[in-house]
């Protein structure tokens, strides 16, 4: 009996997405993973290469914190440039947006979801990197990475046409999440 990994992967991703009420995530999980791998490559290989070959000082003599900061900047700058360029391209190239503000806010657009997936991939990488370098970045940066994943993950709440969920569910989830964040901020402010 052969083990069907694609079926297991499909069920695991769909189950995770259904549990978090992110019905659009299974359609874009590959983009999230490829994006995270791209930014890992930028951080691990491209950033050090640029500093070694283009900087007027010796990369090896820099303290670990400076090298890490440079690599962070390389990945972060590339993410900012790529996502901003893609977002502007989508805004300019779209012929007709959905008519109502609610449709614009909650409607599904695969191009927009792809940009959200690329951003989410960066934040997945950011969580990995800040966890790995928590002795340099501190635990607040780990919380920042988690908050970034959660906020960009909200982009997957809108569902693609085959899995359309009622908009009231989206509004209830968003309101519940806002309420949760508000209570979290109040709890952090009082402790």
Q: What is the pLDDT of residues 146-164, one digit of tens each?
A: 999 988 888 777 655 444 4
Which residues, at least 6 apart from 72, have a Cβ–Cβ distance to it below 8 Å?
43, 47, 129
Q: Residues 12-18: contacts with CB within 8 Å, 24+ apart? A: 17/156
129: domain range?
Answer: 24-164
C-alpha 99, offset from chain centre: 27
Q: How many domains does the chain have?
A: 1
Higher pLDDT, 159 or 123: 123
Residue 111 lies in a domain: yes
Residue 65 lies in a domain: yes
Please give the C-alpha separations between residue 168 and each of 105, 152, 161, 164, in angstroms, as whole numbers: 13, 20, 16, 12
Residue 101 lies in a domain: yes
Residue 170 lies in a domain: no
Task: Name the nearest CA neighbour of 28 among 138, 183, 163.
Answer: 163
- Residues 132, 135, 139: CA angle, nearest 5 degrees: 85
Higher pLDDT, 108 or 76: 76
Length of the chain: 191
Residue 15 lies in a domain: no
The single residue listed with the structure tokens 């519940």 is: 176
Residue 172 lies in a domain: no
pLDDT average, residue stretch 78-95 = 85
Residue 95 lies in a domain: yes
Q: Which of 8-17, 38-47, 119-128 is the least confident region? A: 8-17
pLDDT interval class at 171 (50, 70, 90): very low
Residue 189 lies in a domain: no
């Amino acid at each position: 009996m052969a083990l069907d990994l694609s079926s297991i992967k499909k069920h695991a991703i769909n189950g995770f997405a259904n549990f978090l009420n992110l019905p659009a995530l299974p359609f874009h999980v590959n983009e999230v993973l490829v994006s995270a791998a791209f930014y890992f490559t930028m951080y691990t290989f491209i950033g050090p290469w640029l500093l070694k070959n283009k900087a007027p000082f010796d990369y090896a003599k820099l303290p670990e914190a400076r090298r890490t900061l440079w690599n962070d900047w390389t990945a972060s700058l590339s993410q900012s440039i790529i996502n901003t360029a893609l977002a502007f391209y989508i805004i300019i190239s779209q012929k007709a947006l959905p008519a109502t503000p609610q449709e614009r806010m909650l409607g599904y657009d695969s191009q927009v979801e792809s940009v959200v997936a690329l951003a989410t991939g960066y934040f997945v990488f950011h969580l990995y990197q800040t966890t790995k370098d928590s002795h340099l970045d501190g635990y607040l940066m780990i919380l920042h990475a988690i908050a970034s994943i959660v906020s960009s993950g909200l982009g997957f709440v809108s569902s693609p046409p085959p899995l359309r969920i009622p908009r009231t569910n989206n509004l209830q989830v968003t309101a519940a999440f806002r309420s949760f964040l508000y209570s979290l901020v109040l709890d952090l402010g009082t402790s």
